[in-house]
Chain A
Amino acid sequence: MRKVMRLAIAIGLLAASFGTWAADKEIVIYMQMGGTQGDASTLARTNGARAAAAANGVKLIEQYSKWDQQTMIDQFKQALAAKPDGIAIMGHPGETAFAPLVDQAEGQGIIVTSGNNPLPGIEAKYQTKGFGYAGADLYAGGYLTGEAMVKAGGLKAGDEALVYDIWHQEGRSRSSQGVYDALAKAGLKVDKLDVSAQVDSETSLGIPILTAYLQAHPKLRAIGTQHGNVTAILPKVLQAAGKKPGDVICGGIDLSPATVSAIEQGWISASFDQVLYLQGYVPVMQIVWTKRYLVPGLHVNTGVGTVTPQNVASIKPLIKEGIR
C-alpha cells in the first residue's frame, strides 16, 4: 500500500513539475506578421518577434497573409483551433470582422493582442485581459512623410501632387490619407489614384500607369505613396518619364534595399519608418507579461519617423541587420 502511495506521490510530483516546466517553457503564440516572409514591410517585425520569443522561451508560430484581410481572418480561426496561449493579430480586417473571433478567443482564455492597425473598441473591451496595441500612428506617419516632402522639395501652394495607393481598402490607406492631408494643407492640388489589385500583387505593372500619369500631368511636382513595393519602383517610373532626381519629389514607406538605394541617389526624398522591429517584439512581450504577470494591455506607439537622404547613411547598417 505504501509503495502504491509513494508511486502515486512520485507521479503527482512529476506531473506537477512537468506542469510548472510547461507553464514556464511552453508559451505558444500565433502571430500575424503581415506581408510575406522577409519583405520590406515585414522582415524587421519578424526579427523583433523572433528575438522576443527566443528571450522568453516562447514557441512562435508565424503567419503571413500577403496583407490579405480574408487570410488574416482565416489565420485567426486556425490559431483559435490550435488553442495557443496567445494570438497577435493585425488590425486591418477591422473591428466588425474581428470582434466575434476575439470574443471567442477570450472566452477560451487565449490572450489576444494587436498591431500595425488599431482596433480601439476591442482594445477597450479586453485591455484588462492583455489586449494591447503595438504600432505607429499610421496617419501621423503619413502626415510626417507629406510634411517632409513639402520641406525637401520646397513645394508651394498651387503645385500639383499625386498620392498613389490602395484607396479601395480603408484599412490600408490611413497613412496615405496622412500624406494627402499634409500636402493639401500646404496648399498643393492633390489627386488620388487607386492601386489596382493587379499592381498590388505585381508592382512592376505600375510603371506604365505612373508614367502615363506623369505624361498627362506635366506640371506634377510630387508623388506620394504608402505602398512599400510601389515606393521601390518610383525611380524606374521617373526614369521612364525622362525625369531626373529632384524633378518630382517622392515620398514613400518602408526600407527595402531598392528604396534605400533610391533615397541615397536622391530619387526619393522621404520614406516613412515605423520601427517595425518593435511591432514584432512588443506583442510577444505583451502576451508573455500578461500570461506570467497579469499585465494589462499596453498601447505602445512604436514611433514615427522618416528616412531621408540626410540620415540614410546612419540608419543603413541597422537596415542590413534587419532591425529597421
Chain B
Amino acid sequence: MSRLLGILGRVEGLPVGVVLALLYVAFMIFAPTVFTSYRIYMSFFQTVPPMLVLAIGLTFVITAGEIDLSFPAVVALSGFVFTWCFETFGVAWPGVLLALAAGALVGWVNGFLVAMLRVPSIMVTLAAQFFWYGVTILAAGGLQIDIASVLSSPVHGIFVGRLFEVFPVQALWSLGLVVLFWFILNRHRFGQAIMFIGDNAEVARVMGIGVETTRIRLFTLNGALAAFAGLILTLELNVFYPTQGQGMLLPVMAAVFIGGTSIAGGQGALVGTFFGMYIIGSLEAGVVATGIGGYWVQLVEGLVMAASVILNIVIGDSGLSALSSTARRWAVGRR
C-alpha cells in the first residue's frame, strides 16, 4: 500500500488528472446526454488548444521564476500579421512564418530587457502587453477581418482541419507540443537550466549556466508559442478580431497554477498544466450542461478550481509521501 502511494506520489500531474477525471465522471452523471456524446469533447478539442499552447510557454516562464503578461497581445499581433499577409498577398505559408517571427521578436525584446537591463519581467511584459496590443489595434485600424477564403488553403487543413471530418487537428498539435516540451523541460539541458535559474539564479550562474542567454531564449520561445496560439485561433474562427486573446490571461495562468507549477519557480509540471487547462476549458460548459443556471456557474467554477489546487497540495508529490508514511506507521501499529 505504502509503496503504491509512493509510486503514485511520483506521477507528475496525477492529482490534477484525478480532479479532471472526477469532474468528467460528475458531468457524465449529472449531464449524461451531453457528456456521453462525442460532440462536446470535439468542442473542447476545438477551443482548448490555443490556451494550452499558451500555458506550455507560461509553465516554462514561471518555472524560471519569471512571469509573462504579454502573451494575449502576441495572440492578437500574430493573428493580425497572418491575416494581413494572407489578405494582401493571398498566400498563407509566408503569413505563418511572419506571424511566428513577430511573436518571437516580441519575446526576444522582452527577454533582452529582462536579462540584460535587469528590468523585472512583470513590468516589462505588462508594458509589452499594452504596447503590442496598441500596435495591433493601430495596424488593423481596430477592424475585424474576415478570412473565409483561408478555408481552402492547405494551412487551414494542416493546423485546424478535421481528422475524419470530426477530430480537430489543433488538439494533436497542442498534445504534441506538450510531449515535446515535457522532454525539453525534464530531459534537456535547456529545461534543466530553466529549473536551476528558477530555483536560484546566482547558484545557476556559479554552475556555469548562461543565465542571461537562457532567459532571452525563454522569452523568445514563449513569444513564438503565443504566436502559434494566435495563429490556430485565427485559423479556427476564419476571422481576425483585435481583441482576440485578451480574455485568455487569467484562464491560462489558472491552468498553470492548478497544474502544480510552483509560483516561486524551480519546479514545472507540464502534465499538470495539460490537465489543468482542460479543467478550466471545460468547466463552464460542464456546469451549464448540468442545468445549474444563472449566476451559480461562477461560484461552482471557483469551488472546483479551489478544490483542484487544495487536492494538488494535499495529495501532490510531498503530500502523497506524507500520506504514505502515515499509512506505513498505521500498518506497523496494527502488527
Q: Which residues of A contact B (CB under 8 A)?
A: 36-40, 42-43, 66, 167-168, 191-194, 196, 198-205, 207-209, 211-213, 215-216, 218, 229, 232-233, 236, 240-242, 256-258, 260-261
Chain B residues lying within 8 Å of A232, measured Cβ to Cβ, are: 144, 239, 241
Residue contact A38 to B137, C-beta cutoff 8 Å: yes
Minimum CB distance partner of A35 in chain B: B243
CB distance from A116 to the nearest CB of B (A): 18
Cα A232 to Cα B244 in complex, Å, equals 13
Instruction: Please give me the residue from chain B that is nearest to A198 by CB atom.
Output: B247
Instruction: Say if the beta carbon of B37 comes within 8 Å of chain A.
Output: yes
Q: Which one of B33, B144, B294 lies within 8 Å of A216 (CB-CB)?
A: B33
Quick check: B39 and A39 within 8 Å, CB to CB?
no
A-B contact count (CB 8 A): 138
Q: Is A212 touching B237 in the complex (CB atoms < 8 A)?
A: no
A200 surroundings in chain B (CB, below 8 A): 247
Q: How far is the CB of A176 from chain B (nearest CB, A)?
A: 14
B285 within 8 A of A: yes
Nearest B-chain residue to A232, judged by Cβ: B239
Q: Which residue of B lies closest to A64 (CB)?
A: B142
Which 5 pairs of residues, A with B, have the shortest CB-CB distance?
A38-B142, A202-B247, A201-B247, A37-B142, A257-B146
A201 CB contact (under 8 Å) in B44, B148, B243, B284? B243
Which B residues are in CB contact (< 8 Å) with A215?
Answer: 33-34, 37, 39-40, 289
Quick one: CB contact mask for B211-238 with A, threshold 8 Å, 1 for yes?
0000000000000000000000100111
B residues near A229, Cβ cutoff 8 Å: 241, 243
**Known pairs A198-B251, A229-B243, A241-B39. 14 more at Cβ < 8 A?**
A38-B143, A201-B247, A208-B44, A208-B47, A212-B286, A212-B289, A215-B33, A236-B237, A240-B43, A242-B39, A256-B241, A257-B145, A258-B146, A261-B146
- The residue in chain A whose Cβ has the minimal distance to the Cβ of B34 is A215
CB nearest neighbor in A for B31: A216
> Considering the chains assembled together, what is the distance between the CA atoms of A261 and B149 in angstroms?
12
Q: A209-B285, A212-B285 are in contact. Are A204 and B40 (CB under 8 A)?
A: no
Binding site for A on B (CB under 8 A): 31, 33-34, 37, 39-40, 42-44, 46-47, 50, 137, 140-146, 148, 233, 236-239, 241-248, 250-251, 281-282, 284-286, 288-289, 291, 293-295, 297-298
How far is B241's CA from A40's CA once the two chains are assembled, in angstroms?
10
Q: B residues within 8 A CB of A241?
A: 39, 43
Q: Which residues of B contact A42 (CB under 8 A)?
A: 142
Q: What's the minimum C-beta distance from B126 to chain A, rounded to whole angstroms?
A: 17
- Interchain CA distance A36-B31 in the complex, whole Å: 37
Give which listed residue, A43, A194, A218, A233, contacts B297 with CB less than 8 A.
A194
Q: CA A88 – CA B48 in complex, angstroms?
A: 40
Closest CB of chain B to A229's CB: distance in Å? 7
Residue numbers in A under 8 Å from B47 (CB-CB): 204-205, 207-208
Query: When chains A and B are docked, how far (Å) is the Cα of A40 from the Cα of B250?
Result: 25
Known: A43-B142, A204-B47. A212 touches B298 (CB 8 A): no
- CB within 8 A of B43: which of A38, A192, A212, A256? A212
Query: Which B residues are in CB contact (< 8 Å) with A199?
Result: 247, 284
How far is it, in angstroms, between the C-alpha of A261 and the C-alpha of B140 when the chains are bound? 20
A43 to B137, CA, bound (A): 13
Q: How far, in angstroms, from A256 to B243 measured CA to CA in the complex?
A: 13
Partner of B137 from the list A37, A216, A240 (CB cut-off 8 Å) is: A37
Alpha-carbon distance A215/B34, docked complex (angstroms): 5
Which residues on B sit within 8 Å (CB–CB) of A193? 288, 293
The smallest C-beta distance from A52 to any residue of chain B, in angstroms, reads 19
- Find chain B residues with CB under 8 A from A256 CB: 144, 239, 241
Q: Indicate whether A36 sits within 8 Å of B137 (C-beta atoms), given known contacts A208-B285, A257-B145.
A: yes
Give complex CA distance A42, B294 in Å.
Answer: 28
CA distance A241 to B144 in the complex (A): 25
Contacting pair B288 A213 (CB below 8 A): yes
Taking a contact as CB atoms under 8 Å apart, the answer to whether A212 and B288 are in contact is yes
Cα A194 to Cα B144 in complex, Å, equals: 25
Closest-CB distance, B254 to chain A (whole angstroms): 10
Q: A202-B247, A257-B144, A257-B145 are in contact. Are A192 and B294 (CB under 8 A)?
A: yes
Contact of B295 among A194, A240, A242 (CB under 8 A): A194
Query: How many whole Å from B215's CB to the nearest CB in chain A?
Result: 29
A259 to B297, CA, bound (A): 28
Residue of A nearest to B294 (CB): A194
CB pair A240–B42 under 8 Å, yes or no, is yes
Q: Are B244 and A211 in contact (CB under 8 A)?
A: no
Q: Find chain A residues with CB under 8 A from B285 CB.
A: 208-209, 211-212
Whether B43 lies near A39 (C-beta < 8 A) is: no
Chain A residues positioned under 8 Å from B294 (CB to CB): 167, 192, 194
**Given A216-B31, A216-B289, residue A168 in contact with residue B140 (CB < 8 A):** no
The verdict on A168 contacting B247 (CB below 8 Å), with A38-B140, A213-B288, A215-B39 known, is no
Q: Are A209 and B237 in contact (CB under 8 A)?
A: no
Q: List chain B residues, Cβ under 8 A from A258.
A: 144, 146, 237-239
Alpha-carbon distance between A196 and B295 when the two chains are bound, in angstroms: 9
Chain B residues with Cβ below 8 Å from A204 are 47, 50, 233, 236-237, 244
| A207–B43 CB distance below 8 A | yes
B289's nearest neighbour on chain A, judged by CB, is A212
Provide a sorted-by-A list of 11 A–B residue pairs whose CB atoms are within 8 angstroms. Answer: A38-B141, A198-B251, A200-B247, A201-B247, A212-B286, A216-B34, A216-B291, A229-B241, A236-B236, A257-B144, A257-B239
